[in-house]
Structure formats: structure tokens, C-alpha cells
Chains A and B, each alone.
Chain A
Amino acid sequence: MTPLVTIRDLDKSFPGVKALKNARFELLSGEVHALMGENGAGKSTLMKILAGIYRKDAGEICIEGVPVDIPSPRAAQDLGISIIHQELNLMNDLTAAQNIYIGREPKRAMGFLLDEEALNRAAAEIFERMHLKLDPRAEVGQLTVAKQQMVEIAKALSFRSRVLIMDEPTAALNNAEIGELFSIIRKLKAEGVGIVYISHKMDELKEISDRVTIMRDGEYVGTVPTAATAVDTIISMMVGRSLTETKTEVPDLSSHDVVLEVRNLRRSNVILDVSFKLRKGEILGFAGLMGAGRTEVARAIFGADPLDDGEIIVRGKPVTIRSPQEAVRLGIGYLSEDRKRFGLATGMDVAANIVMPCLSRFLSMNMFLKTRAIRETARSYIRQLRIKTPSDAQEVRFLSGGNQQKIVIAKWLARDCEILFFDEPTRGIDVGAKNEIYKLLNTLAAQGRAIVMISSELPEILRMSHRIAVMCEGRLTGDLPAEGTSQEDIMRLATQRHSLTTDTSNGAPGGSTT
């Protein structure tokens, strides 16, 4: 039987990155085909090309054996390919039916008036087909996330889709809702729709998918039947064998003071009972998949988001941190994963950004800026961190990602923070700059600063950390020593969902290899 979709030798580059190299994929009709890989493995890029969101650089896409060109999302829809993004794209103030037929509303009175009745009837028919009880007139904003997702699926089906791509569809759903979603997936499958299912959650894949294709670093690794393949095999295919660069020596820190301790942090359902300790001079790696709650923990400790419950102890003293201002006063710095949105005022110059957290030190009469002192400080950090910029008066937006990151680091060094949270410090940075950032982190730790490094890149975690904390769905699922820990150990803990830990004993109490 001819596969519904065949992708061969697909290449795609973005400025500075090769996102896909000879990527391959095959989808049969009536199949649920899971696509797995670490963050940045190229899953989403591959599917976005199939859905016409990105253009391919080279390679071939065939639908039922016929080579096709997919220049736009519209073209993909015409070919029967629909994608449901992780972030839902719905208009909350419109009804379910209005959302489904947006841009294609049935008309009456020679096209002058909308035919609301026909619209609702058509939507109801689709819901019927999905065996879904939902009023087409319901306002989408009032629906649960699960129901909103159903509306997205209904919208995809209204294009008579034969290929349905779902990117992390269960990220925001609870168990009952996941069950509901799966029963709809099974119905579509029975009708011959081919479904691509992108997810990190092992247990879900085992339950719903027929085959799994694994990708790593933009390349095709292999396709295996789900039922006959062990979870460990899939994980080792994901992380691969190739490794590892010179690992940093783990110093003996047992005699060092604990500078930060948090106990039982809790915030609605994103942070669930997180406790850990951080010593002077230590680099604590925070591993986990995207959305595991690592950033949320950092932001909560930093006072950027409120906490429901929990204790924070800085240098032996219990503290309450209600705002970043208070955190900074306690010597805590946070380097956001999203430099442009949260880290830098990109329209301002290098010097202004570097002194932002400590401007009060550069004032005469508590009011006037000491321009010369500011520039001298900025210049000294530009030299020290080797920031490549024509001058300290250059606007930050004209600098490269690596140099922008160094400015964020300089900012917190200038403030002399003792405890630093680095959230994805090397995201979007080229290899050379990455090495410099690594060196910098080691130097900072050696100087006695305590560092939490959040990273989704396992090699980075293994290379840099003195100790590794793993998070999954808001919980801390492991606290591993850096030595003797493998990527597989971390991945197992990072995918250890709550349902699994309670149901099975599969590697539950810390995954550290002895």
C-alpha cells in the first residue's frame, strides 16, 4: 500500500543553524505515528514544513506517492494536511462554529449575509462524527482547554484532512481529558486518517501510537514499531551515543555553606512540592523537558511570580521574596531564557543595560548619573567578558545572541550577585560563544558564586553540573550526582510522569546508576 505521506532527504537551514539534514518520515493512512526527539531535534521544523509553514531547502515530499510542493498553509490544507499547534490558535470571543469556519462562512442573500444556521449545522455534523457533545454556539473562551483542543481538531477535520499533525496535544490536559482525546484519535484512525503525534510522554506513546520515528540533531535516527520496542531503546536512540567533551572537575563542596535552600515550593499546578539546596561554589544543573516547571521555580524564587506555599532560606535565614527587587537585594540574580523579552532593553545601549540592576551605585546626589563611571564599568566588563561591540554606546539589538547573553551576565556580575539562576544560558548561541559562556560559568563558581543552570540540552547539563536536579511536570523527580550519570538516567526521570511513578516501580527512587 502506498504511504499517505513520504518525506525523503529533507534539508532546512535557519540563519546559523542547520535544523534538518536528510530528514525522513513516512505516514500510512489509519496510523498513529509518533515523532520523538530531544528539544531541538527538528520534530517541529519537519512538521511545519509538511504543514506549509516553512519552505524546505531540499528534499522531496510525496502525498500518496505523488511529489508535491507545499508553499503555504493554504496549500497544505488543500492537500488535506492539518496541524494542531501546541499553542491553540482560537478566537476566544467567537463561538465554536464561528471558529471552525472562520474565513469560509456559509453565506445567504446573495452573499451579503452570513448564514449562521448553516454554519452551526455544519459544525454540529463534525462534532457528531467525532462523537463529541458540544454546542456549536458555545463561546470558545468559556470552554475547557480540552474542549478547545477538540474545536481545533474539528476545524482540522472540516478541511477534510487526511493527515492530522498534533504537536504536544496533551500538554495542558488532565488524565480524563487525555482519555477523551485518545478515543477521538482512535475514531479518526478507524476512518483512515493518518495522525502524526509529537510528544515527550513515553506512556502516552505506548498507549496510542503504532510506530515511532526518532530524530536527533535534525537527522533521522530510525523508525520502530511501538509495541515491540522497549522504552529504554527509544530513549537511547533519542540521546545517541556520541559524547562527551571534557567534563569539568566536580570539586568537593561538602564543606561549603548552603547559600540557598528552598523547601516545599508550591504554585498552583506548575510547581509541586519542590525542595533543594545550593552550596557556595556549586553549579546545580536543572534538567527536564520544556514545560517541566524549571523556569517557574526560578522565577518564583526570584519573586517574579507569586508562590502559594513554601520556604526560602538564604544564607541560613528564612526570607520572603515578594518582588525581584527584594531578590536582588538578597543577592539573587536571574538570567531569563528569553533575553529579548525579559533580559534586555534592546533599544538601549550596552552601558545602560549593564548598570541597570545597580544604577543606584552610579548616582551623585542620589539623582544624577555618573556617566563616566558607568562607561568605565561597562568597558571593563566588555573587556573581561570579551563582548564584541563597537563601543559601550552601541544599542544592544545590533549585537549577536552570544554577545547579548554576555551583557545579561555582565549585568548581574556588576550587581555582584552571589546566587545566580541561568535559564538556558546558551540558547540560540553558536558553538564558539557557548564555550566561552561555559568557561565563564566555571570561573564564577570557582569564585564562590552559587549557580543554578537550567538547560534542556543534556550534554550541557552533564558537562557543566556538579549536581543534577531533574524535573517533570512541576515535580522534582531526581537529584543525581554529576559523576556516573548518563543521559538515559536523566531522560528516564524527565519523562517520569506522575501516573507512571504511582502505577509502576519502573526506576522510581532516583535513577542514579551505582
Chain B
Amino acid sequence: MTTIVEKETPTVIKSTVFSQGAWQRILAFASLIALMAVFTIASDNFLQPDNLIGILQATAVNGVLAVAATFVIITGGIDLSVGTLMTFCAVIAGVFLTYWGLPMPVGILAAIAAGAICGSVSGTLIAKMKIPPFIATLGMMMLLKGLALVISGTRPIYFNDTPNFPMISQESLLGAILPFLPIPNGVLILFVVAVASSLVLTRTALGRYTFALGSNEEAVRLSGVNTDFWKIIVYTVSGGICGIAGLIIASRLNSAQPALGQGYELDAIAAVVIGGTSLSGGRGTILGTIIGALIISVLTNGLRILSVAQEWQTVVTGVIIILAVYADILRRKG
């Protein structure tokens, strides 16, 4: 009988693997810093505290939506309905608070619950009925856009009866405690959502299965895991987060604008992709997504300060997305 002599484990291999996740975040973070440096040099106004807070404020909605999209994209799916779902949830909050005059916490819960329910519907269409994610969420996107208009009678719903509603995103809880840090609540919510999501993805069974589904769904199924169930849960969580985004945007506008929402999904997906999450699934980080969302906001803000026309801002964003994905492909090859 042969005895197998155990060889010393080679220690050289580790560097190639270890640096991979870190490298993509460093790349995205470096681009963010570089962008900020460029704008700082180009304009004195860029690095002003007010402007920086403006950038963060502008990132809040897209950032939260992008976090929602990150979950789904890591499973190897896609969610085109995040934008209109956000609006739908804002309208639901409007119905509960303005139409029915219920207390604010009820409205908040209703908006988040509505998002979760819609997410679970998308998840069921995809997991149980085997409709491709692109199609299922395209359908949901249009369906929800229509429903938001129907429910609101195509008119904005104002939150005049709920005086505290603008507080959700506008005022600064943090500023009240630490006066030198007047970060608006919307940004604080983004921070909390991002940290919580990051914990879920790295520390919980749900997170583990999210990555596993995107990595090799069939292997997971053959491990005896109920993949359909977990996929539905992922879409449900994602939907709930869209509900939070709905609250932020409604609070900022002090109204639910039913016509808004379409187009937001593309910004969210762009942030996820720029942040290094693979569209083929299995890989991604919340930190990357947040950096991606910041890159988009900084770019929009900086170009506006430099008085670059809106049309050109869109052109530049497009170029950035293509470059980011190409960088990702190069990294994978190498």
C-alpha cells in the first residue's frame, strides 16, 4: 500500500488570492479620491463642507437602492424594478399617512412592508415560476409604475398632515449631538443600511447563501439547500430596502411623486457595477457599492460645479461604467 507523503503546503499561492477582493475596492476607492482631487483643483467650491454634504445627501437615495440591487446581483440575478418600487413604497406611505391619517411609524412600516412584499413577488416569479430575472423584474417595474399612478390618481401626495415626515431625511440627528458633523438623517440611514447589509452578507446564513447562489446554484441545491426559498428571501430583503429608499426620497420632497422612479434602477445598477460586484454573480461588497454610488454623485456634482452641461454628465457616467466593467474583466483574466 502506498503511503502518501504530505508535502509542505506552498505558501506562495496566497498572495494571488488574498489581494483579489481588496484590489478591486482599492481601485474603486482610488478612482474616487482621484476624482475628488481633480475637482478640488478645478474648483474652489468643490471641497466646501456644504457641497460635500450635498454630495452625500444626493447619494442617499441612489446608495440605498444600490445596496438593494447588490443583494440581487450577487445571486447572479438583476432587479430592474428597484426605482419604481421605491416610488410605489413612497405612494403607499402617502396613502397610510395622508389619505388615512395614520401615525408616522405605521406609515414607515407600511412602506417597508410593501417593498418586502413586492420583492417576494419578484422572487417567487423568478424562483418558482422560473421566469428570467430580467423579464420578471421588467414586468414588475412597469406594473409598479402603473400601480403608483393609479393609487395616487397620477397626482403627488403631500405629507402636510405629518409635520415630522421631512425629518426622516432632512434634519440632522447627528448634528444635534455633534454640532461639527451636520450629517443629514438620510445619509445616516444610508450608513446604517449599508453597515447592516454588509453584516448580513458576510456574517449570516442569508449572506452565505446569497453568494453561494451566484457562485453555483446547482451545487447549492444538490447540497440539500432550499435554493428557491433563499432566493425569494433575497428579493424580499432587497424589496424592503427599496421601501427605505422610498421613505428617504418622499421625505426629501415632502411628497410622494408617482411619476418619479424610472431610471433610478439604472443608476443603482451602475453604482453596483462600478463598485466591483460581478453581474454574473458570486462576488461583490457593499463597501464597493457605496464607493460606486459616491463616484456617480461626485462626478455629477463636480461636473455641475464646472458648469458642464447635463447631457455631457450623462455621457461621462456612461464612459465610467464601461471603463469600470472593462477593468473588472481585465482583472479576472489576469
Contacts and interface: CB of A to CB of B under 8 A. Distances in A.
Interface of A: 246, 302, 304, 323-325, 327-329, 334, 336, 341-348, 352, 356-357, 359-360, 363, 367-369, 371, 386, 388-391, 394-395, 398, 411, 415, 432, 435-436, 439
Given A329-B224, A398-B13, A432-B4, A346 B216 contact: yes
B330 interface: no
Contacts of B211: 345, 347-348, 352
A398 B17 CA distance: 9
Contacts of A371: 203
Interface of B: 1-2, 4, 6-7, 9-11, 13-14, 16-17, 203-209, 211-212, 215-216, 218-226, 282-283
Interface centre among B14, B206, B209, B215 (most CB of A within 10 A): B215
Given A347-B282, A363-B205, A436-B4, A341 B218 contact: yes
Given A369-B204, A435-B2, A325 B226 contact: yes
B224 A390 contact: no
A343 B222 contact: yes
Contact of A386 (B6, B16, B207, B209): B6
Given A341-B216, A368-B203, A395-B17, A386 B4 contact: yes
A485 to B, nearest CB: 23
A355 to B, nearest CB: 9
A435 B223 CA distance: 25
Q: Which 7 A-B pairs have the closest CB atoms?
A: A328-B224, A345-B215, A357-B223, A345-B216, A356-B223, A347-B215, A347-B282
A304 to B, nearest CB: 6
Contact of B204 (A367, A391, A415): A367
Given A346-B216, A367-B205, A435-B2, A357 B225 contact: yes
B222 A369 contact: no
B280 to A, nearest CB: 10
A325 B229 CA distance: 11
Contacts, number: 108
A329 B224 CA distance: 8
Contacts of A304: 221-222
A223 B115 CA distance: 71
B221 A324 contact: yes
B264 to A, nearest CB: 29
A343 B224 CA distance: 11
Contacts of B215: 345-348
Contacts of B283: 347
Given A346-B216, A347-B282, A389 B224 contact: no
Nearest to A245: B1
B21 to A, nearest CB: 10
A435 B4 contact: yes
14 contacts: A336-B222, A345-B216, A345-B220, A346-B215, A347-B216, A348-B282, A356-B219, A367-B204, A369-B208, A390-B11, A398-B17, A415-B224, A435-B1, A435-B4
A348 B221 contact: no
B75 to A, nearest CB: 12
Contacts of B218: 341-342
Contacts of B2: 432, 435
A323 B226 contact: yes
Contact of B13 (A325, A342, A359, A390): A390
A390 B9 contact: yes
A325 B17 CA distance: 32
B228 to A, nearest CB: 9
Given A343-B219, A347-B216, A356-B223, 10 more contacts: A341-B218, A341-B219, A342-B222, A345-B282, A347-B283, A356-B219, A357-B225, A368-B204, A389-B9, A398-B16
Nearest to A362: B205
A59 B204 CA distance: 58
A388 B8 CA distance: 9
Given A328-B223, A343-B219, A386-B4, A359 B203 contact: no
Interface centre among B14, B212, B219, B220 (most CB of A within 10 A): B219
Nearest to B228: A323
A55 B222 CA distance: 37
Contacts of B207: 369
A391 B18 CA distance: 11
Contact of B225 (A325, A395, A439): A325
Interface centre among A348, A360, A363, A389 (most CB of B within 10 A): A348
Contact of B212 (A352, A363, A369, A432): A352
A332 to B, nearest CB: 9
B211 to A, nearest CB: 6
A450 B92 CA distance: 57
A394 B225 CA distance: 23
B297 to A, nearest CB: 30
A344 B282 CA distance: 13
B331 to A, nearest CB: 14
Nearest to B3: A435
Nearest to B10: A390
A371 B203 CA distance: 8
Contact of A342 (B10, B206, B219, B226): B219
Nearest to B221: A324
B222 A324 contact: yes
